[in-house]
Structure 1
Amino acid sequence: MFKTFLLSAALLLAAGTMAQAQGPSTGGPAPGTPAAEVPLDGGASLLLAAGVALGLKKLRQRRQVAR
């Protein structure tokens, strides 16, 4: 277990030393311009439907256990 901890610590330290920050950017939108809009079409509705389905499944499981 100690060897696993040492290996994990060594890998994390090595990854930290290899990480570099990004250089200065070439710019961006000028101040006062409207922000870019992000489409929330398919992904958000699929996540919402999956959440509803999971909630219904859990409710059905609770009702079956209570009987």
Structure 2
Amino acid sequence: MKSKFNKGLLSFLLIMSCFIGASAQKRDVPVPGTNGPPPPGFPIDGGLSYLLIAGIAYGVYELKRKK
């Protein structure tokens, strides 16, 4: 049980270190079409919505499978 937890924690830390490294990169050239922050009420990206829906569906599947 403890070994499984340690593997999960190590995996999480490795993945997060990749995200931190990627977000710490300096961008010298502005991206075309971005003139500032998005307007208020800006919709969530479609990919994030699909990820949320897939996570909910997987959670429901796991809960039904355990019964």
Same fold (TM over 0.5): no
TM-score (ref. length: structure 2) = 0.37
TM-score normalised according to structure 1 size: 0.37
